[in-house]
Chains A and B, each alone.
Chain A
Amino acid sequence: MDALLALWDGAFGSSYAFWSATLVRATPLLFVGLAVAVAFRANVLNIGAEGQLVVGAMLASVVALGGAGAPRLLVVPAMMVAGAAGGAVWAGIAAWLRRRFGVLEVISTILLNFVALALLSWAVRGPLQEPTGVYPQSSPFPPSSHWPFLLTGQRLHLGFALGVGLALLAWFLLARSAAGFRLRLVGAGARAARSAGGVAAERTITRVFLLSGACAGLAGASEVGGVTWALYEGLSPGYGYTAIAVALLARLDPRWVIVSAVFFGALDAGAAAMQRDAGVPSVVGQVIVATVVLLVLASGAARDRLPGGRRVPAGERG
């Protein structure tokens, strides 16, 4: 009971807990959850949000460290662009592998995660290491690269607002735009989309990879610019994997990704508090997360929105 109270307090017990713990932890989940949701809607099984996040964080860090002296109004947007570009490039590799060689993205994206983590490990011991060369991390970012806080006295930063805006935009485009409709068609029935609709399915799929990767890359930029103000290993405690749970819980609906990300952020913040105050290991939080996801999946609520049968990989099309 104490543990559950501590969990609740850690997530919602105070304005600090909510604005500075829960929502701050929800922010990266919002971006990566959105990345996974959009990809899954097109039946693109991008499970490489982790790697895309890391590459986005690295490129954003390069901009942040190089932008000392430049105005914040320039550096922060440039970090966003760099983060999105980094994630898009990383996902673009998987898109190219699939289109050119028929490599399943489930395999390529997860392997690219390890490559990205290795790259990060190298970067913080090499080109991006702090000048003393002692710690495997970058120098602290100059203030011009710190993303603005949204509320005085709270750690909630611009990234959260950006994520919410992006989620609402994604929802609107999926529901109303021709491009969003094509994306949904390719996810629901690529053969019919091609045959009956003349949809260039392969091109749509490539774009989805890039968009999804860009979204995950923004998560990395938002973490280094809004929270850590430095680049180091262990930047992401597996946000890219939690993202899949976030997206599934939201039934792949971008609007619900906002809610779902906040829920997971609260569990994360609460679990940390529970460990601190009640001595209950934070893995209990993870158990709760896993239980919730399993229940949601089993309820079938998500099932009808999940990608159906796999398409035939490009190489085997008859």
Chain B
Amino acid sequence: MSAAEALVLRDVRRSFGPTVALDGATCRVRRGTVHALLGENGAGKTTLMNIAFGLVRPDAGDVLVDGAPLHPRSSADAIAAGIGMVHQHFKLVRAFTAAENVALGGHGRFDARAVAERMRRIAGETGLSVDPEARAGDLPVGAQQRLEIVKALAHDARVLILDEPTAVLAPAEGDDLLGWLRRFRDAGGTVVLITHKLREALAVADDLTVLRRGRTVLESARASVDEGAIVRAIAGDDSRDDSRDDSRDEVRHEVRGRAPSTSLAPPAKRSRTAVPTGPAVLALADVGYVDDRGVERLRGATLAVAAGETLGVLGVEGAGQRELLRILAGRLEPTTGTVRRPPRVGFIPEDRLHDALIPELPLHENLALADAGHLRGLIDWGAVVQRTAALIGRFDVRASAPTATADTLSGGNQQKFVVARERAVAVDALVAENPTRGLDLRAAALVRAGISGRDADAEPARAPAVVFYSTDIDEVLAVADRVVVCFSGEVREIPRPADPNDRTPYARAMVGAA
């Protein structure tokens, strides 16, 4: 038993239904260190730490705190063991004051003055000051995050887990936070920093663990690895990767192989020289966006997409792609810069059940939904039902009737319907955000084919300009003619490498490696 390790997660496994989130993940956090936990979207970083914090129970594996096994049944157990977690999306009661939030989860009488005193003492020791009287919801993001940390410290946390703490912060605030984490470590505290950003990890971490597809692929002291090795661990190297995750490989083969036997695969990619160079349908010039909390989400974005061309977009969560896609789709107006886009741009949002469809309404009303903003007078529902029937026939949407409610369709058919609708209302341009998320292979292939609009008989000039974002690098590389990567609000085009299967330059750009 080594008490030098403040927190150990050993060979942890966890599935959610058919999805294996963690498949033998291990993470050893030495006391008095900053430990970076790295990995791509969906690698299992957050799930692993949620297990340490008692929010998720592992199917197998051990959690040890200070060398002693811990079986947290709720976060209260983890907090009692000295673990604090600051989630990416803060868990504050917005209507409560800062002091009330700090007191939350405590026992006995709530004494506002005692809590405020405790907060002042913590502020004196750590420099993290938050007005105890302020309402949490009124605080700026940086202060909300400080409050989360103060809350953990007020519960005597010795191990602080921070999930993507800088994603919500402006760069200067992020640097301040990293500086604070160093000081907290120097005072004997232990930090687990979940991050997408390599620069951060390299700047503050003493040790690091890399997860890929739920498994630990690299554990090392910061000093004994170089950046390249970390990037390779994060992105994986297909030739040497004996992946047991067959489904993903299948996607890769199916997409890249473009088996001629099936119409499901996207049409063969034209050679690079055949990429249309016609006039841009979508164009951004020096576009910036500042969100309503004053955080700069996008700056200096410049790009153009021509008819028949597919622009792939990559980026880790919070890197600015969400705003980029919405500006291109006309769902968001930029703060600065100019946008050129057709009057209607089709948009396939990530959250189709909230942003694209109304599940309890029939399909034909969901079709009319796309025009609802500018319909006038009376609606000829008979004609709408006919149009719906034609559309679901053409795009092979499996529905019992054009008047069936959307929630009677499978996820794949719902998404095919959304694609069909957006193609129908906007013929010139289409923006797709993670459109195959949660779909099986066949449905995903059909959705990709629908989005590309390159039907066998369609001329490239008639095909729409497409912007395609996915969290799956391989999928983006397979469908895109050109690829841009978002990192910290900047949008950079990364030229296709000589080997079309080489994802390393993209993986590097996504984590901000030079």
Contact = CB atoms under 8 A, between A and B. Distances in A.
Interface of A: 176-178, 181-182, 184-185, 188-189, 191-193, 195-200, 304, 308, 316
B354 A176 contact: no
A195 B379 contact: no
A178 B358 CA distance: 17
B373 A200 contact: yes
B423 to A, nearest CB: 13
A192 B357 CA distance: 6
Contacts of A191: 354-355
B368 A199 contact: no
Nearest to B418: A196
Nearest to A193: B372
Contacts of A177: 377-379
B377 A196 contact: no
Contact of B369 (A197, A308, A316): A197
Interface of B: 94, 137, 331, 347, 349, 354-361, 365, 368-379, 381
A182 B378 CA distance: 12
B372 A182 contact: yes
Contacts of B355: 191-192, 195-196
**Contact residues of A: prevailing secondary structure:** helix
Nearest to B372: A197
A304 B360 contact: yes
A198 B373 contact: yes
12 contacts: A178-B376, A178-B377, A182-B372, A185-B372, A191-B354, A191-B355, A192-B356, A195-B331, A195-B349, A195-B356, A197-B369, A199-B372
A197 B418 CA distance: 12
Given A178-B376, A178-B379, A189-B354, 17 more contacts: A177-B377, A177-B379, A178-B372, A178-B375, A178-B378, A181-B365, A185-B361, A185-B369, A189-B359, A192-B354, A192-B356, A193-B369, A196-B357, A199-B373, A304-B360, A308-B360, A316-B137
Given A181-B368, A191-B354, A192-B357, A197 B378 contact: no
Given A304-B360, A316-B94, A316-B137, A192 B377 contact: no
B354 A197 contact: no
Contacts of B359: 189
Contacts of A181: 365, 368, 372, 375, 379
A196 B356 contact: yes
Nearest to B374: A198
B137 A198 contact: no
A215 B380 CA distance: 27
B42 to A, nearest CB: 23
Contact of B358 (A182, A189, A200): A189
Q: Which of B137, B349, B379 has the most C-beta atoms of chain A within 10 angstroms of its own C-beta?
A: B379
Contacts of B361: 184-185, 188-189
B368 to A, nearest CB: 7
A197 B370 contact: yes
B375 to A, nearest CB: 4
A192 B369 contact: yes
Contact of A185 (B331, B358, B377, B381): B358
Contacts of A193: 358, 369, 372
A182 B373 CA distance: 8
A177 B378 CA distance: 4
A177 B376 CA distance: 8
B360 A192 contact: no
